Amino acid sequence: MSKIVIFSCFLLLLVTIQGCSDVALIDTNQEIRSRNWSYPQKVRIPVEIKDPDRLYNVYMNLRHTADYKYSNIFVLIHQAGPGMKNLTERREFKLAYPDGEWLGSGSGNFYSYQLPFRENYKFPAKGTYTFEFEQNMRDNPLREVSDVGLRVEPVAK
């Protein structure tokens, strides 16, 4: 093979690898015991922000089984960190179309979501921020929720 062909293959491989890289600061999930998310079982996740001058997108990760009986979920999202007052907000996320078809990506009996709740968000200061997710539905425990987590990614420049 000529050097040009080898160089071209190497360059293509390098571009492919870089295109597949994930830029998220954090993308983690915590398993919900027995798929029963109770009120006191809050999912708490810290994330370190090193560059507060950047904008970030922040998502709640959620995974449930096909036996989850609602088309939505209400959660309380608590946020604490340097340079800010503690925040709590109640959010509703739609999980299914009106006909019952799940909006999440399916794999077997499970459906996964990345639910945006802060877009183009600027953290007030450098440091560690804590996000805490608390289920806020009428059912306690809320059945068939298997994982809850957090994804924080910088907005592309």
> Tens digit of pLDDT for each residue in 109-143?
999 999 999 999 999 999 999 999 999 999 999 99
In whole angstroms, what is the distance from residue 155 CA to residue 111 CA? 25
In whole angstroms, what is the distance from residue 156 CA to residue 57 CA? 10
- Written as six digits, the tokens of 54 are 């950047």
Which of these, 36, 39, 14, lies nearest to 133 by C-alpha position?
39
Q: Which amino acid is present at 113?
A: Y
Topology (CATH) of 24-154: Jelly Rolls (2.60.120)
pLDDT in tens, 34-67: 999 999 999 999 999 999 999 999 999 999 999 9
